[in-house]
């Protein structure tokens, strides 16, 4: 089965691509409305803002092609995060900050009844909702056949879809955050979508990809049935383990994981050939990719790379760090965070100025899920 990826150019979709590959399938990129109409199976990992996503879909003619593809719910489709939200009728998400902060309703694909709204600041601990939370099943589904309610998944979003009478038959799972209960995944027929990020939910998320793709290939994806729901059931955010790795170049130009006092990461022992009072080399605790993978295998829920010497050069040219992200995302399926170097700068050699947004975007496309100008623990 050919899996088609709808990547409209925003944020990190590398991990979704790698999750599909990890499930044993190859990926083709969609580049025209005709390819949507002719696809066997579509995965849409929406990233960014609702307004921007719908604008791009309309400009490229993807919106009408998607409506046609999804019309009868008989063709395999997996939407992720914003890829789920766009299936609904509209969103109140800001189109932009125009001074008076006027909310505007943005039209969606209209496949599922309902409107995407913002979390109420007074009803939840914080906005956005970031972290690992549970799911309450409303249907049995091949997609969830290997997961349990206690298997938390990773969420990051400020907007959600309320449960209403008109969309109840679509709900696959719901989740509670503070006093808000909302739709965390949907399924009708062969159309599946999640508010959470399975590509960042470890083994549980990888199983969701594998189950979806295998059921789509076998023709069993639509084998669902309703489950009894306890209206008092709740889910909650759980504590997780975040591993931070200080990364910098050693004297040979290789990136290594290191540690020191106040970023003094030189060995104290003198080496043969060093002058009196000279310091040793950069303390080397291991290679970033292999060490990060080890922590992931041992149960880390997030990996943070702190690029402690990134101020010395621009990220656009920081090929080793970008390669670390690209390689890590092939085998690590939890959030990857990068800290350090997120700033505007001018390339003195070519005279080109890059904004902080362009710098962050380069990290995202390499595999980062979060970027921070300064990251500390």
190 annotated active-site:
no
Q: Across 129-235, where does the E strand assignment appear?
A: 129-133, 136-137, 139-140, 153-157, 159-160, 171-177, 180-188, 191-194, 225-226
User: For residues 91 and 193, what is the distance between their CA atoms, to the nearest angstrom?
Assistant: 17
- Among residues 315, 308, 294, which one has the least CA distance to residue 368? 315
Per the DSSP assignment, residues forming a β-bridge with 180 are 177
Tell me the backbone φ, ψ of residue 203, rounded to 5 degrees.
Answer: -60, -40
Radius of gyration of the chain (CA): 22
Work out the angle at residue 370's Cα, subtended by the Cα atoms of residues 160 and 181, and round it to the nearest 5 degrees.
20
- Among residues 342, 344, 341, which one has the least CA distance to residue 353? 344
Residues in the chain: 377
Q: What Å distances lie between residue 63 and 6, 110, 230, 236, 257, CA to CA?
A: 12, 10, 37, 35, 45
- Number of helices and strands (H, E) in the chain? 9, 23
Element (H, E) at 27: strand 27-29
Both tokens assigned to 173: 């799972």
97 annotated active-site:
no
41 annotated active-site:
no
Q: Which of 41, 138, 197, 327 is catalytic?
A: 197
DSSP strand pairing (153-157 vs 129-133): antiparallel
Q: Which of 41, 81, 190, 302 is catalytic?
A: 81
Q: Which of 93, 152, 199, 327 is catalytic?
A: 199
User: For residues 371 and 354, what is the distance between their CA atoms, to the nearest angstrom?
Assistant: 16
Q: Which residues are catalytic?
A: 81, 197, 199
């Amino acid at each position: 089965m050919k899996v088609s990826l709808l990547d409209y150019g925003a944020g990190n979709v590398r991990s979704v691509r790698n999750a599909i590959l990890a499930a044993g399938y190859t990926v083709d990129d969609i580049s025209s409305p005709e390819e949507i109409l002719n696809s066997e199976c579509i995965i849409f990992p929406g990233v960014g803002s609702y307004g921007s996503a719908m604008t791009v879909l309309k400009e490229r003619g993807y919106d009408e092609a998607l409506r046609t593809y999804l019309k009868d719910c008989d063709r395999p489709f997996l939407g992720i995060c914003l890829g789920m939200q766009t299936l609904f009728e509209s969103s109140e998400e800001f189109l932009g900050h125009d001074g008076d902060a006027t909310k505007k309703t943005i039209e969606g694909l209209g496949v599922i009844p309902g409107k995407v709204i913002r979390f109420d600041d007074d009803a939840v601990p914080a906005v956005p909702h970031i972290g690992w939370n549970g799911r309450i099943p409303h249907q049995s589904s091949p997609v969830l056949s290997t997961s349990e309610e206690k298997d938390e998944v990773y969420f990051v979003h400020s907007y959600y879809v309320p449960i209403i009478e008109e969309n109840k038959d679509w709900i696959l799972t719901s989740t509670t955050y503070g006093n808000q209960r909302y739709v965390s995944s949907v399924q009708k027929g062969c159309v599946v979508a999640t508010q959470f990020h399975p590509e960042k939910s470890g083994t549980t998320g990888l199983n969701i990809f594998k189950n979806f793709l295998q059921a789509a290939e076998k023709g069993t994806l639509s084998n669902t049935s309703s489950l009894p729901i306890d209206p008092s059931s709740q889910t909650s955010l759980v504590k997780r383990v975040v591993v931070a790795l200080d990364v910098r170049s050693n004297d040979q130009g290789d990136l290594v994981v290191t540690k020191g006092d106040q970023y003094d990461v030189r060995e104290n022992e003198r080496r043969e050939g060093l002058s009196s009072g000279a310091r040793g080399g950069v303390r080397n605790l291991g290679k970033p990719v292999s060490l990060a993978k080890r922590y992931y295998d041992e149960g880390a829920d997030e990996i943070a790379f702190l690029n402690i010497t990134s101020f010395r050069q621009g990220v656009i040219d920081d090929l080793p760090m970008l390669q670390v992200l690209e390689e890590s995302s092939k085998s690590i399926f939890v959030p990857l965070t990068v800290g350090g170097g997120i700033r505007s700068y001018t390339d003195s050699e070519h005279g080109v100025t890059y904004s902080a947004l362009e710098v962050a975007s380069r990290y995202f496309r390499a595999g980062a899920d979060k970027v921070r100008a300064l990251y500390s623990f």
